[in-house]
Amino acid sequence: MLTKQDIFAFLEKMGIRHTDTVTIHAALRKVGEIENGADGLIDGLKEYLSEGLLLVPTHTWANVNPKNPVFDVRQTVPCIGTLAKVAAFRKDGIRSLHPTHSMAAFGKNARDYIAGEEKSHTPAPVGGALSRLYDAQGKVLLLGIGHERNTYLHAVDEMIDVKNRIAEKGFDATVIDWDGREIPCPDYHPHEVHGLPADVSGCSEYYPNYKKAFEDAGAVHYGMLGNALCYVCDVKKMTDRMIKIWKNADRDMCVYDMEIPESWYK
């Protein structure tokens, strides 16, 4: 069973500092048994990042939509796994008010970092909590999963205005805050990608196409936590590499499986 000390040792070995801003996605079953489960993992991460910030995505994109356009920060259950469902309702964190891509923030300046997310009109807008990981020189921690769950990359798509990512038609959403106040979020445009295979849910399924290019940039390194292969990703290096690739790309490389030519990033 993994203990808090095991988590500390892993983070130190992976070069994560106590002052870092870190967002995490995890497949807990692949990691194996953790003392106190998802809460124990959050406790360990939060304590280690004693002068930093932990961001746990608590996304609701599967259950906030035109047919159900209401996000209640107090009640709407995340759609992305156990860690998110636990983090969303912990009393020591604060969940952002983004209608589809909320995050629970723990640590230094948590409330300030996630402020204003109710004004978002797309999943990962420029200036939003995800995109500001670049300015914070943040890190993405992937436990037992790969870039197919690297939500930050959606923010880069929006930064560089990649086409075929956002729905042309929006809907009027409503956000209910921690005090029960209703906040209108008009003309919200969710993700929508055309040209994907019928059995593929979104372009992120092809984000692993970037893997080799990220490695070449020194943007990711690997380690083990329990039974899981883990990625630690440098946000700035990933972003800069994606910008270079898209300047040279002659097609959308995230609508099917392909190897990105080295000439696009060397």
Q: 23, 138 in Cβ contact below 8 A?
A: yes
Q: Which of the four pLDDT bands, split at 50, 70 and 90, describes residue 221?
A: very high
Q: Containing H/E element for 154?
A: helix 152-159
Residue 69 token pair? 């356009």
Q: What is the rounded radius of gyration, in angstroms, for the C-alpha atoms of the chain? A: 18
| Range 235-253 average pLDDT | 97
Query: CA torsion angle for 202, 183, 92, 74 (degrees, to 10)?
Result: -80
pLDDT of 108 reads 86
pLDDT per residue as tens digits for the range 57-109: 999 999 999 999 999 999 999 999 999 999 999 999 999 999 999 999 999 89
Average pLDDT of the residues in 1-30: 97
- If you average pLDDT over every residue of the chain, what do you get? 97
**What number is the average pLDDT over the span 142-171?**
98
Distance between CA atoms of residues 238 and 149, nearest Å: 14
Q: Is this prediction's pTM over 0.75?
A: yes
The most distant pair of C-alpha atoms in the chain lies apart, rounded to whole Å, by 53
Question: What's the CA gap between 108 and 240, in Å, rounded?
Answer: 27
Quick one: average pLDDT of 179-191?
98
Per-residue model confidence as pLDDT tens digits over 77-87: 999 999 999 99
